[in-house]
Amino acid sequence: ATTEIEHLTRDRDAVTADVPADLLAEYTRRASRGIGVGLLRRGTCEGCRMMLSGTHLNEVRQAAPDAVVSCPECGAILVRTDESGL
């Protein structure tokens, strides 16, 4: 019988298949310390629920679309979408 860990490993492999290896390694490193990634929604990191300051939001706004940006509070990789409030 397939164990839950085998199912989760298979699911993770399927989801991460198209993620660049260096980004996946960075996520794994951050996740081992706590929160690996958080959605930036309306100026708030959904990882730790901290509202980013205007200065931090400007830094995120000015970063290249493919740049890895981080929450200044929890260190999570911030995922930017149309909901980010940028």
Q: pLDDT for 14-68, tens place per residue?
A: 888 888 889 899 999 999 999 999 999 999 999 999 999 999 999 999 999 999 9
User: Is residue 7 in some structural domain?
Assistant: no
- Cβ contact 53:45 at 8 Å: no
Q: Where are the beta strands (DSSP E) in the chain?
A: 37-41, 44-45, 77-80
Paired with 39 in beta bridges are 79
User: Is residue 51 in some structural domain?
Assistant: yes
**How far, in Å, CA of 84 to CA of 59, rounded?**
13
3-state secondary structure of 51: strand
* Residue 80: pLDDT over 80: yes
* Residue 82: pLDDT over 70: yes
User: Is residue 4 in some structural domain?
Assistant: no
User: Is residue 3 in some structural domain?
Assistant: no
User: Is residue 6 in some structural domain?
Assistant: no
Domain of residue 52 covers 20-84
Which pTM was predicted?
Answer: 0.79
Domain total in the chain: 1
Q: What is the pLDDT of residue 13?
A: 86
User: Is residue 56 in some structural domain?
Assistant: yes
Q: What is the pLDDT of residue 85?
A: 85
* Residue 78: pLDDT over 70: yes
